[in-house]
């Protein structure tokens, strides 16, 4: 039996792509189109937001989540205990489609894995407690599910948390009483606390502690895990958004109020040969 025209047609139909490559993107709008390659984000990508302490990264993330097609998607926020949702609302984020899992603790990797299956966009703050093997699995899941993972590399979003009295000790300071911090005890660096810290104070052993970490601390203290020291899975992101705050207008020496801030954003993309484009905007 020879190959007929009909069978060729059928085979080519089977082999043809189900949907075009150009549709595997989320279209952005506004200033994002100037800095993202072709003005869009490819589905199945990791977008890493980085910036120093007063860099406006949080505002940049809000702007990103409300840009173009991102706005119509369900968003899961993981690890954001202190997020200013009112600011997110003001910047146009659809809060009706944003679910927050504020404190996933050490189950972060597991939680993110579950969320990727259902949410088109998952935003993670401080991806600590994720091992490299977990990270690899998560990235492959993102690619498979055509989700977008946004990672915000900051220590600003979690101040207090209930910490199990296990793990590596870190620079705990401040008085504890009945297993709880009193006053303003500050723990620098990692959140793991050794029960010895408690016993050293002569109080209840192995009781869970409520500790405060310095929210402005960028560098981890001693004893921090390798994962966190080395940042979020070096090399695993597809887009790197760097932000810096240029200044605030409207406020002066004892008069006026903040009206606008000037934000400089640059986006580097591996998919675009690591070329970086920048823009300065008023938000």
Partner 1 sequence: MPKKTSQHKLRQSRYSLFDQVEHQVAPRVLLVEFFNWPFMSIESRDADPLAVVVENGVVINASPQALKSGIKMGDKLRTAASAEPGLRVVSADMVDQDGLFAKIASVLERFSPLIEIVDLGICATTAKGPSRYFGGEERLALGVKEAMEDQIVKVFPGARELRSRAADPFAPGSIFSFGISIADGIFTAQIAARESLIVPPGESGSFLAPLSIKELPDYEIADTLYRLGVRSFGEFVDLDFNLVLERFGPRGALLHRMAAGLDTSSLEPSEIKEELVQKIELPDPLETASAVIFACKARVEEMLRRLLESGHLCQVMRVRLVSENGEESVRDWGARDGFSVQLLLERIRWQLEAWSTNSILAPSAGIEIVELRPQRIVSSLRVQLGLDGSERSSVAKVSQALSRVDAIVGKRSSIARIKGSRTPKGSVEMVPWQLHLFDLDEERERKSREASPWPGKMMSPSPAVCFDPEIEIVLSTIEGALVSVSANAVLLGDPCWISIRNTGRTARVLKWSSAWPMMERWWDPKDSIKVVRIQIVTDVLGALLVKSSGGKWFIEGSYD
- Pick one of 8, 11, 107, 280: the residue that binds partner 1 (CB under 8 A): 107
- Pick one of 216, 222, 278, 280: the residue that binds partner 1 (CB under 8 A): 216
User: Residue 228: CB partners within 8 Å, gap ≥ 6?
Assistant: 126, 128, 190, 220
* Site of tokens 């905007």: 281
Nearer to partner 1, 111 or 267 (CB): 111
Residues between 218 and 237 with contacts to partner 1, criterion CB under 8 A: none
- Pick one of 96, 202, 234, 235: the residue that binds partner 1 (CB under 8 A): 96
Contact code string over 150-179 relative to partner 1, x by CB under 8 A: ------xx-xx------------xx-----
Interface stretch with partner 1, choices 31-39, 106-114, 232-240, 267-275 (CB under 8 A): 106-114
According to the binding rule CB under 8 A, does residue 189 interact with partner 1? no
Residue 128 to residue 105: CA distance in whole angstroms: 9
At 104, list the tokens: 């996933």
Residues between 249 and 278 with contacts to partner 1, criterion CB under 8 A: 251-261
Q: How far is the CB of 149 from partner 1 (least distance, A)?
A: 15
- Pick one of 117, 199, 207, 229: the residue that binds partner 1 (CB under 8 A): 117
Q: Alpha carbon of 23 to those of 27, 69, 82: distances in Å?
A: 9, 12, 35
Nearer to partner 1, 72 or 222 (CB): 72
Nearer to partner 1, 104 or 220 (CB): 104
Q: How far is the CB of 28 from partner 1 (least distance, A)?
A: 13
- Pick one of 33, 100, 137, 225: the residue that binds partner 1 (CB under 8 A): 100
According to the binding rule CB under 8 A, does residue 144 interact with partner 1? no
Q: Which of 46, 5, 6 is nearest to 235 (CA)?
A: 46
According to the binding rule CB under 8 A, does residue 9 interact with partner 1? no
Give, as one character, the DSSP assignment of residue 29: -
- Pick one of 36, 62, 64, 239: the residue that binds partner 1 (CB under 8 A): 62
According to the binding rule CB under 8 A, does residue 280 interact with partner 1? no
Give, as one character, the DSSP assignment of residue 14: H
Residue 217 to residue 220: CA distance in whole angstroms: 7
Give, as one character, the DSSP assignment of residue 114: H
Q: Alpha carbon of 107 to those of 33, 161, 255: distances in Å?
A: 36, 14, 46
At 94, list the tokens: 């659809």
Residue 178 to residue 56: CA distance in whole angstroms: 39
According to the binding rule CB under 8 A, does residue 21 interact with partner 1? no
Residue 283 to residue 281: CA distance in whole angstroms: 6
Residue 46 to residue 51: CA distance in whole angstroms: 16
- Pick one of 45, 59, 169, 195: the residue that binds partner 1 (CB under 8 A): 59
């Amino acid at each position: 039996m020879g190959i007929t025209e009909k069978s060729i047609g059928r085979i080519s139909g089977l082999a043809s792509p189900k949907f075009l490559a150009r549709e595997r993107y989320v279209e952005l709008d506004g200033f994002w189109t100037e800095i993202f390659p072709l003005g869009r984000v490819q589905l199945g990508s990791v977008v890493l937001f980085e910036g120093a302490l007063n860099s406006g990264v949080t505002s940049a993330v809000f702007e990103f989540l409300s840009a173009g097609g991102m706005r119509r998607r369900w968003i899961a926020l993981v690890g954001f205990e202190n997020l200013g949702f009112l600011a997110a609302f003001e910047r146009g984020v659809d809060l009706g489609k944003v679910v927050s899992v504020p404190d996933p603790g050490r189950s972060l990797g597991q939680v993110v894995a579950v969320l990727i299956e259902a949410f088109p966009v998952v935003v993670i703050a401080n991806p600590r407690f994720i091992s490299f093997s977990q990270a690899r699995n998560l990235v492959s899941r993102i690619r498979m599910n055509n989700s977008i993972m946004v990672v915000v590399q900051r220590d600003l979003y979690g101040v207090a948390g209930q910490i199990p009295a296990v793990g590596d000790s870190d620079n705990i300071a401040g008085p504890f009483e009945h297993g709880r911090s009193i006053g303003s005890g500050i723990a620098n660096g990692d959140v793991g606390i050794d029960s010895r810290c408690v016993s050293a104070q002569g109080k209840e052993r192995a009781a869970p502690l409520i500790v405060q970490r310095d929210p402005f601390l960028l560098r981890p203290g001693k004893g921090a895990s390798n994962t966190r020291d080395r940042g979020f899975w070096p090399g695993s992101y597809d887009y790197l958004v760097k932000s810096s705050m240029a200044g605030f207008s409207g406020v002066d020496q004892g008069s006026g109020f903040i009206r606008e801030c000037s934000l400089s954003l640059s986006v580097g993309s591996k998919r675009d040969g690591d070329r970086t484009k920048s823009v300065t905007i008023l938000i």
